[in-house]
Amino acid sequence: MIEIVGTVAILLSVGIFVPQIYKAYTTKSTQDLSYGLLFLYVAAHTTWIIYGIMLPAYAVVIADTTTVICALYIIYLKTKYG
């Protein structure tokens, strides 16, 4: 049961960013995105990664690493298109 919850958490964490990445990539527009929010999101989830490593809770590490990568990609798109 714990692994199922971890897997769902990973899928939801990635799912948060997929629609935004798709929209930013296809429209080449990121003006509605805030750098502050994105950097805060990266900082928060990087802290969760550290917590997951210390615990160890690998579902947390995987989920948050994936979301940080997605957030960094959106920051890249914002820098490129914004």
Query: What tokens appear for 64 in the block?
Result: 């948050």
Domain 2-81 carries which CATH code?
A: 1.20.1280.290
Q: Where are the domains of the chain?
A: 2-81
At 32-82, the pLDDT tens digits run 889 999 999 999 999 999 999 999 988 889 889 999 999 999 999 999 987
Residue 58, pLDDT score:
86
Sign of CA dihedral 33, 39, 44, 48: positive
Please state, for a pLDDT cut of 70, what percent of the chain lies above it.
Answer: 100
pTM here is: 0.83
Residue 45, token pair as written in the block: 């989830």
Torsion of CA 67, 69, 75, 78, to 10 degrees: -90
